[in-house]
Amino acid sequence: MLPIRDIFAELFYGKLFSLDAGLQRLFTGDMREQGRSLAAMISIVVRSLEQPENVAVALQGLGRRHSAYGVSARDYDTVSVALLWTLSHALGDEFSDEAEGAWRETYRRIAEGMQS
């Protein structure tokens, strides 16, 4: 994902806002930087899947910040839909059923960590 992070972010946020335009109110900064931060965080979590304790504290802090911004539990579901859609479009044929299942599980872990 990192080599195409700018395209990934553009696709992701476009889909996210098409699913729920009200979420745009949560984003006031530079969307390119926001997208790069998203790609970096996802990459860190993916590399740490075998050792989730390494990112647990970071995810909890990220979750607290998101809660302070006004992110609700329902928004995590919307993000999941946007993320899976974006991955399917960005990865094309490489986004197999197995890959989709792995990404679903990865996002579930991220969302649970952020909401804990």
Confidence of residue 19 (pLDDT cuts 50, 70, 90): very high
Confidence of residue 67 (pLDDT cuts 50, 70, 90): very high
In this predicted structure, the answer to whether residue 1 has a pLDDT above a threshold of 80 is no
- State how far the alpha carbon of 10 is from the alpha carbons of 33, 80, 85, 102, in Å: 11, 16, 12, 23
Q: Which one is predicted more confidently, 17 or 9? A: 17
Q: Which residue has the tokens 């960590």?
A: 113
> Please, where are the H alpha helices in the chain?
5-19, 31-47, 53-69, 73-91, 97-115
Q: How large a percentage of the chain has pLDDT more than 70?
A: 97
- State how far the alpha carbon of 61 is from the alpha carbons of 27, 72, 110, in Å: 18, 15, 12
Res 54: pLDDT: 77
pTM beyond 0.95, yes or no: no
Confidence of residue 31 (pLDDT cuts 50, 70, 90): confident
